[in-house]
């Protein structure tokens, strides 16, 4: 029975005092119990884990969102344990809950932190209404490898973009007050370097040099910590021989020591147990000690903490202060979320937005996440008033589940409106819509139905061809070595192209696909990622021109898988490739002797440029950039440099341009990338309108982790460019004359 340490008359003033009051009452076992997070996903969790909860061996619970079960489990914790400390309920709320927003990689294509924040806020409110108070998101792992299935969950290849958007997600989930209705704790994952797993094979080990870790992989984690993220999660990875979950240098050293993160660190699923499988620890006792001493506070699913930490302390092998710190962090989170004061809180304080508003937000997000990769002869937008018939073809055109994408446990497929349904609804009474899937799913190799699709195309004014990958082909443990369109989709695309009708390709996928073998089949190409519940209506908005496309790629699209990893912010090498020093394999005479042709950094067959660069994305209008000017040839630490350029919408339609500012530090104590994104802004301009886009740069924008590991800028010459993608040549120079 609960001795009710947590009672009103005991209520001291601060969270710290409340936490200390409970902590001082706890046995070693009860402290360790708070560190244990267990799965409750089966239908009758109270039977399976009820006794563990009663015994004080459970601090948090994953994956239960049935109200009566949530309440039953919470009831056990409150009424049938000695101290009555409530449980914390967690769930992977990755890109929406009941209403599904675009995949994170899709949201990143919007370059719109306000939208990202709003999506997370809506997801949080929907989740909180089922008792979930903690999500395992955002994932801010920098991803430069499209083979890696979890690129779908990422915010792309760029440290700055991922920093801005990851911080926005944290703010959306947590709101201004963690204990407010509809707020849930964020968990920034996977700390750190998980996205660099070798060959894009999930869970594979990697070697990341310290300079690269600090300058590429860690910035988004720092940004999320600075945004107030309550919790972090370790990665499954092995970084240079030290698994992330036992990595004292990364967690205690950098995250807590240098970045100053004071919140809670949870392991990934059984990643403490996996320290043994990695070959880093011999048994659960050693794994528990290593993880705890490295800075992990909570154990997801290995039970090593609850099983081993009390004995380790009792036998003098681990300091009790370490255990206290861990339990203190768990209890502090529970207080800050308000679950101690009101353990059933969000179940009766409904902060859930109306479904209609959530769907409208998901539709706006989906439209902003779609990237117009090409638009030959301005085939888009289609004039719906002049259309008599439209063919909607392809295995992804009517898949309510697949369009939601990976990591969807709670998304309601009934809320999904597919492209096939949306085009029929939009053109109802105006034009005939012929829908032919042609292939039953993305991996289908049976070509028998393609002729029906060809028939439909021949009888239509235009074709919307929805290809891609099913949701199950990306996400955790779903890496691919071949990232071309699977099944007979290329054959389908070629057959449709051969009809001569205008073909609007739409790719629904969880990763950048290698599209070289199919790209010429499309007159226009929209990369829709997995766009979520409202993918269909959002696509109609774009195709009809009701909404102007504004998405820009957050990752480089490779010509072929052999180019991977390919990213815009690479180092220069001593022999950079340029158009004049690149040779194509077909141009080398058979029997040619050793030749000095080229001698630069490229592939003989696929050159050195991506198919579509980072930052690329078209609109239905043209944006012209005037020359870049800087307010002074140089500036010193403490001063500000203004960079500006004129932006004109010279086309005939209104549009939104994502203006991007890149810099290059010409020489550093460590070699610097050829370009780095440092600022961006979404600018809406009416047809014919001109504006001045102005950015302010300070020394902080030029800072990096230097050779001596200190963080700061270095005086010297810099390039700065402002343009519509990462290849812009529209630039100027300036000098930083002093640095702190």
Give residues in contact with ligand BGC (CB under 6 A): 92, 136, 189, 268-269, 476
Distance CA 315, CA 317 (A): 6
For the bound state, the minimum distance from the C-beta of residue 274 to ligand BGC, rounded and expressed in Å, comes to: 11
Residue 480 or 501 with smaller CB distance to ligand BGC: 480
Distance CA 693, CA 683 (A): 8
Q: Which of 356, 332, 365 is nearest to 120 (CA)?
A: 365
For the bound state, the minimum distance from the C-beta of residue 91 to ligand BGC, rounded and expressed in Å, comes to: 8
Residue 38 or 450 with smaller CB distance to ligand BGC: 38
What is the b/e burial string over 62-83, where b = at least 16 CB atoms within 10 angstroms of the residue's CB? Answer: bbbbeeebbebbbbbbbebbbb
Residue 101 or 662 with smaller CB distance to ligand BGC: 101
For the bound state, the minimum distance from the C-beta of residue 140 to ligand BGC, rounded and expressed in Å, comes to: 12
For the bound state, the minimum distance from the C-beta of residue 182 to ligand BGC, rounded and expressed in Å, comes to: 21
For the bound state, the minimum distance from the C-beta of residue 119 to ligand BGC, rounded and expressed in Å, comes to: 18
Question: CA torsion angle for 60, 408, 196, 574 (degrees, to 10)?
Answer: -140
CB-based contact 565:144 (threshold 8 Å): yes
Widest CA span in the chain: 91
For the bound state, the minimum distance from the C-beta of residue 38 to ligand BGC, rounded and expressed in Å, comes to: 12
Q: Which of 703, 718, 714, 695 is nearest to 640 (CA)?
A: 695
For the bound state, the minimum distance from the C-beta of residue 110 to ligand BGC, rounded and expressed in Å, comes to: 22
- Here the tokens at position 596 are 């000095």
Residue 37 or 81 with smaller CB distance to ligand BGC: 37
- Here the tokens at position 37 are 């997070």
- Here the tokens at position 298 are 């909570």
> Measured at CB, which residue is nearest to ligand BGC?
136
Residue 131 or 310 with smaller CB distance to ligand BGC: 131
Which of helix, strand or coil describes residue 393? strand
Residue 296 or 367 with smaller CB distance to ligand BGC: 296
Distance CA 562, CA 500 (A): 32
Q: Which of 141, 158, 268, 444 is catalytic?
A: 268
Count of beta carbons in the 10 Å neighbourhood of residue 364: 20
Helices (H), 55-183: 67-79, 104-108, 113-128, 159-174
**Which residues have C-beta within 8 Å of that of residue 592, sequence separation ≥ 6?**
none
Count of beta carbons in the 10 Å neighbourhood of residue 262: 11
Is 341 considered catalytic here?
no
Cα dihedral sign for 312, 315, 318, 323? positive
**Which residues have C-beta within 8 Å of that of residue 438, sequence separation ≥ 6?**
393, 394, 395, 449, 450, 452, 453, 492
Q: Which of 382, 413, 422 is nearest to 98 (CA)?
A: 413
- Here the tokens at position 258 are 């240098």
For the bound state, the minimum distance from the C-beta of residue 194 to ligand BGC, rounded and expressed in Å, comes to: 8
Question: What 8-state DSSP symbol labels residue 390?
Answer: E
For the bound state, the minimum distance from the C-beta of residue 177 to ligand BGC, rounded and expressed in Å, comes to: 24
CA distances from 265 to 212, 294, 335, 649 (A): 23, 10, 16, 47
Residue 26 or 123 with smaller CB distance to ligand BGC: 123
For the bound state, the minimum distance from the C-beta of residue 531 to ligand BGC, rounded and expressed in Å, comes to: 22
Query: Backbone dihedral region of 2: left (phi > 0), alpha (psi from -120 to 50 degrees) or beta?
Result: beta
- Here the tokens at position 362 are 């998901």
For the bound state, the minimum distance from the C-beta of residue 333 to ligand BGC, rounded and expressed in Å, comes to: 16
Residue 134 or 620 with smaller CB distance to ligand BGC: 134
Residue 57 or 189 with smaller CB distance to ligand BGC: 189
The Cβ-side half-sphere exposure at 673, using a 13 Å CA radius, reads: 23
Complete DSSP assignment for 250-281: IIIIIIIIII---SEEE--TTTTTHHHHTTS-
CB-based contact 200:145 (threshold 8 Å): yes
Burial (CB < 10 A; 0-12, 13-18, 19+), residue 709, is: exposed
**Residue that the structure tokens 């809506």 belong to:** 122
Distance CA 710, CA 253 (A): 14
Residue 269 or 557 with smaller CB distance to ligand BGC: 269
Residue 107 or 609 with smaller CB distance to ligand BGC: 107
Query: Which residues are catalytic, by number?
Result: 268
């Amino acid at each position: 029975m609960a001795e009710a340490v947590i009672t009103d008359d005991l209520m001291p003033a601060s969270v710290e005092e409340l936490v200390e009051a409970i902590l001082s009452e706890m046995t070693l076992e009860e402290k360790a119990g708070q560190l244990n997070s267990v799965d409750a996903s089966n239908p009758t969790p109270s039977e399976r884990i009820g006794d563990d909860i009663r015994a004080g061996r459970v601090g948090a619970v994953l994956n239960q969102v049935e109200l009566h079960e949530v309440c039953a489990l919470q009831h056990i914790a409150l009424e049938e344990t000695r101290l009555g400390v409530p449980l914390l309920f967690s769930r992977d709320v990755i890109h929406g809950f009941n209403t599904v927003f675009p995949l994170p990689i899709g949201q990143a294509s919007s370059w719109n932190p306000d939208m990202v924040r709003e999506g997370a806020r809506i997801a949080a409110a929907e989740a909180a209404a089922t008792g979930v108070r903690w999500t395992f998101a955002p994932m801010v792992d920098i991803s430069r490898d499209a083979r890696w299935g979890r690129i779908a969950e990422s915010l792309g290849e760029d440290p700055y973009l991922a920093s801005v958007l990851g911080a926005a997600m944290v703010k959306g989930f947590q709101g201004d007050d963690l204990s407010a209705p509809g707020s849930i704790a964020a968990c920034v994952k996977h700390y750190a370097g998980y996205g660099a797993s070798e060959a894009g094979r999930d869970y594979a080990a990697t070697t990341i040099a310290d300079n690269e870790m600090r300058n590429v992989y860690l910035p988004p984690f720092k940004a999320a910590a600075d945004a107030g993220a309550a919790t972090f999660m370790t990665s499954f990875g092995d970084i240079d021989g030290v698994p992330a979950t036992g990595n004292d240098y990364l967690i205690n050293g950098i995250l807590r020591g240098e970045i100053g993160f004071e919140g809670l660190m949870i392991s990934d699923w059984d990643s403490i147990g996996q320290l043994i499988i990695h070959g880093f620890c011999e048994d659960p006792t050693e794994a528990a000690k290593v993880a705890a001493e490295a800075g992990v506070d909570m154990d997801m699913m290995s039970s090593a903490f609850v099983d081993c930490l009390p004995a380790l302390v009792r036998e003098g092998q681990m300091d009790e202060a370490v255990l206290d710190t861990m339990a203190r962090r768990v209890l502090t989170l529970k207080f800050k979320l308000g679950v101690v004061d009101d353990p059933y809180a969000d179940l009766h304080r409904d902060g859930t937005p109306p479904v209609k508003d959530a769907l409208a937000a998901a539709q706006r997000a989906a439209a902003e996440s779609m990237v117009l990769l090409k638009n030959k002869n301005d085939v888009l937008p289609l004039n719906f008033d002049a259309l008599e018939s439209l063919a909607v073809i392809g295995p992804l055109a009517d898949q309510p589940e697949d369009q939601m994408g990976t990591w969807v446990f709670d998304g309601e497929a009934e809320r999904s409106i597919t492209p096939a349904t949306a085009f029929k609804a939009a053109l109802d009474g105006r034009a005939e819509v012929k829908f032919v899937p042609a292939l039953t799913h993305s991996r289908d190799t049976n070509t028998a139905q393609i002729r029906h699709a060809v028939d439909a195309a021949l009888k239509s004014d235009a074709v919307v061809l929805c290809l891609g990958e099913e949701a199950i082909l990306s996400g955790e443990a779903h890496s691919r070595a071949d990232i071309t369109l699977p099944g007979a989709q290329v054959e389908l695309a070629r057959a449709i192209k051969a009809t001569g009708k205008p073909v609007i390709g739409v790719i629904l996928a969880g990763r950048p696909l290698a599209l070289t073998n199919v790209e010429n089949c499309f007159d226009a190409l929209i990369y829709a990622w997995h766009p979520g519940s409202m993918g269909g209506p959002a696509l109609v908005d774009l195709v009809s021109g009701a909404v102007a496309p504004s998405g820009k790629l957050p990752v480089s699209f490779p010509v072929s898988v052999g180019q991977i990893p390919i990213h815009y912010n690479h180092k220069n090498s001593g022999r950079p490739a340029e158009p004049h020093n690149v040779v194509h394999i077909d141009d080398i005479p058979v029997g040619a002797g050793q030749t000095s042709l080229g001698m630069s950094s490229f592939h003989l067959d696929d050159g050195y440029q991506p198919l579509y660069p980072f930052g690329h994305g078209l609109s239905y209008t043209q944006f012209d950039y005037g020359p870049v000017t800087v307010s002074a040839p140089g500036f010193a630490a403490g001063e500000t440099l203004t960079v500006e350029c004129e932006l004109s919408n010279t086309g005939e339609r209104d549009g939104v341009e994502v203006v991007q500012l890149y810099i290059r530090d010409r020489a550093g104590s460590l070699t610097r990338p050829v370009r780095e994104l440092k600022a961006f802004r979404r600018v809406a301009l009416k047809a014919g309108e001109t504006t001045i886009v102005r950015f302010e740069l300070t020394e902080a924008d030029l800072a990096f982790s230097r050779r001596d590991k200190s963080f700061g800028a270095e005086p010297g010459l810099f390039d700065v460019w402002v343009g519509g993608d990462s290849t812009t040549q529209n630039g100027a120079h300036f000098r930083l004359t002093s640095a702190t």
